Amino acid sequence: MAKVIATANQKGGVGKTTTAINTGIGLARLGKKVLLIDADPQGSLTSGLGFAPPERFTYTITNILADTAEENGVKDCIITHDENVDLIPANLTLANMEMELLKVMGRENILRKYIFSLSDKYDYIIIDCSPSLGIVTLNALTAADTVLIPVQASYLPVIGLQELIRTVSKVKRQLNPKLTFEGILITMVDRRTSYAKEITDMLRKEYGEHIRVFNETIPRSIKQEESTTDGKSIYTYAPKSKVAASYEAFVKELIG
C-alpha cells in the first residue's frame, strides 16, 4: 500500500513543485516505486519533468477526475520519466474541473477513489497541489496520508502557514481522519545571512512542538531553478551541487 504525500502551500514560489520532483526522484534513487501526480492547472510539475508544453496532453488528471466521478472506466494516462518515476500530468483543463466538481456528489473523495485503485503498485504517491485551496486541492488532501509543507525562509511565506494548517486540520476533522503533517521543509535558504537563520529558528520555535520541522534545509540555488527548466531533477542536472546534497539528505530523513 502506497504512502500518499501531498506537497502543499497556498503561497507560490516556495519551491513546492521542485520539492515534489526531487523528493519523488530521490525516493526512486533509493529503489522506491514512485508516482507523481500533478494537481495544479498550471502544469508546473509536468513541465518541470520535461513534458512541455502540458497542453499537448489530451488525457490528464482532469479526465481521471471526470471518469472516476461518473464511475466510467478510467483510461491509463500514466507516463514515465527517464529518472524512474511515473507521472500523471496536468494542464489548464484542470481549472475547469473546479466548477464541474461542484456538481458531483462526494466530490472531495474522487481522487482518493482513483488512488486507492492503484496504491498497491507504488511505495509512494506524491501529489503536487495547486497554490489555491480549491476543490482539487481538497481532493488531494482527502486522498493523502500526510502533508509536506515547503516553506521559503522568508517572513511573508511563514506568516501564511496558519491558513494552510487550519485547512489541513479542518480536512482531518471532517473528511480524512488519518491525515497528518509529514512536516515542514525550509527551502530557498540563503545560508550566508543571519536573516535566514532567524526565520529558521522562528519556524522551529513556533511550529516544532506540534509539527515536525525537518533538520535538513534546502539552500537557495540558481541550479535548482535551471533544473526544472531543463526538465530534470537536481540529481541529474547538478549532481555535485549543494542543493542536490540537501535534497538527498532530506529524502533520507523523510523515510527515517
* Number of domains comprising the chain: 1
- Mean pLDDT, the chain, rounded, equals 91
CATH number of the structural domain spanning residue 202:
3.40.50.300
Instruction: Report how far residue 208's alpha carbon sits from residue 237's, in angstroms, rounded to the nearest whole number.
Output: 33
Instruction: Report how far residue 126's alpha carbon sits from residue 130's, in angstroms, rounded to the nearest whole number.
Output: 13
pLDDT in tens, 119-132: 999 999 999 999 88
* 8 A C-beta contact, residue 10 and residue 133: yes
pLDDT in tens, 26-59: 999 999 999 999 999 999 999 999 998 999 998 9
Peptide bond into 239 cis (omega under 30): no
Instruction: Report how far residue 55's alpha carbon sits from residue 58's, in angstroms, rounded to the nearest whole number.
Output: 7
- The Cβ of residue 162 has, within 10 Å, a number of other Cβ atoms equal to 11
Instruction: Report how far residue 56's alpha carbon sits from residue 54's, in angstroms, rounded to the nearest whole number.
Output: 5
Q: Which residue has the higher pLDDT, 225 or 4?
A: 4
When pLDDT is cut at 50, 70 and 90, the band that residue 185 belongs to is: very high
Residue 223 pLDDT greater than 70, yes or no: yes
Give the per-residue pLDDT at 133.
Answer: 80
CA angle 226, 23, 13 (to 5 degrees): 50
Give the per-residue pLDDT at 190.
Answer: 85
Cα 3 to the center of its chain, rounded Å: 13
pLDDT in tens, 85-116: 999 999 999 998 888 888 888 889 999 999 99
Residue 137 pLDDT greater than 80, yes or no: yes
Give the per-residue pLDDT at 156.
Answer: 64
Give the structural domain span for 30.
3-255
Instruction: Report how far residue 176's alpha carbon sits from residue 169's, in angstroms, rounded to the nearest whole number.
Output: 9
